Amino acid sequence: MRLKDKVCIITGGGRGIGKETALTFAREGAKVVICDVDEGLGNQALQDIQAAGAEALFFKVDVTNREQIKAMVDGTVARFGRIDVLVNNAGVTADALLVKMTEEQWDKVIAVNLKGCFNCTQAVVPKMIEQGKGAIVSISSVVGLYGNVGQTNYAATKFGVIGMTKTWAKELGRKGIRANAVAPGFTMTEMTQKVPEKILDMMKEKTPLGRLGQPKDIANAILFLASDEADYVNGAVLPVDGGLVL
C-alpha cells in the first residue's frame, strides 16, 4: 500500500477526478478527507470510501471561504493528528470567447480555481512544516500549458496553478514538502459533458492513444506524486493527456 496510514485531503472530492482519486487513495491505505461544496455528492463519496474499508471524513467546503477551510484543517488534525497530502482538485468552468466573457464569469473561475488552490495550500502548509514532511498535488490542465479557445479564465487559472506549484516547490522543499502538478487532457467527467460531442470526437482523433482520458488515468498520476515513490520529484508538471499535444 503506497499511502498506508497517510492522511490525505482532496478538494472537489465528491465527483469526477476528485472522487476517483479519493477511492484510489483509500485502496492504497490512506485516511481520506473529502471536501466538496456539494453536500450530497460529498456524503455519497464518503459512504463509498468507507464501504471500501477506509477511514474517511467529509467536510462541506467552498474553497473560496477561508473560514470553512480552516474548520476542515482543524477537524482533520483533531481526528487524525496530521496532514500528509493535499490534492487541490476543486475547479469550475465558465467558458466564453474573450470578447463575450463577462466579469462574473472571469471572477468565478479565478476565485475557485486559483484563489481556492492558494487558500487551501496556505491553510495546510503550516501543519506540514511542523511535521517536516508533506506532499501537495495541484490539478492544472493541458489548457494551462497551451491555452484553449473560449477559456481565457480557465487557462489563466491553470497557468497560475503551475506558477504557484513551482514557487511552492522552491519555498517549501527545504522544509520537506514537495509540490507538484498534474495536467490532464480531455477527461471523461461531468465537466467535459458540457463540451459538444464533435469537439470531443476531434480531441479523440488528435490523441495518439486514440481515446479520451478516464478519471482513473489521472488518479493514478496523482497517486504517484502523492506517494513516497515520488520523494525526489518536486516542482514537476506531469501531463496526462494521451500525447494530445505532441
Give the CA angle between residues 157, 171, 61 to the nearest 5°: 45
Strands, E assignment, the chain: 7-11, 31-36, 56-60, 85-88, 134-139, 177-184, 237-240
Which residues fall within 8 angstroms of residue 119, CB to CB, at 6 or more apart?
Answer: 63, 64, 66, 69
Classify the phi-psi angles of 45: left when phi > 0, otherwise alpha if psi is within -120 to 50, otherwise beta: alpha
- Catalytic residue of the set 25, 154, 168, 186: 154
Q: For strand 177-184 and strand 85-88, is the pairing parallel, antiparallel, or unpaired?
A: unpaired
* Cβ 156 vs Cβ 104: under 8 Å: no
* Cβ 19 vs Cβ 45: under 8 Å: yes
Residue whose C-alpha cell is 481556492: 116
The 3-class SS string of 65-89 reads CHHHHHHHHHHHHHHHCCCCEEEEC
d(CA 161, CA 166): 9
Q: For strand 56-60 and strand 31-36, is the pairing parallel, antiparallel, or unpaired?
A: parallel
146 a catalytic residue = no
Catalytic positions: 154
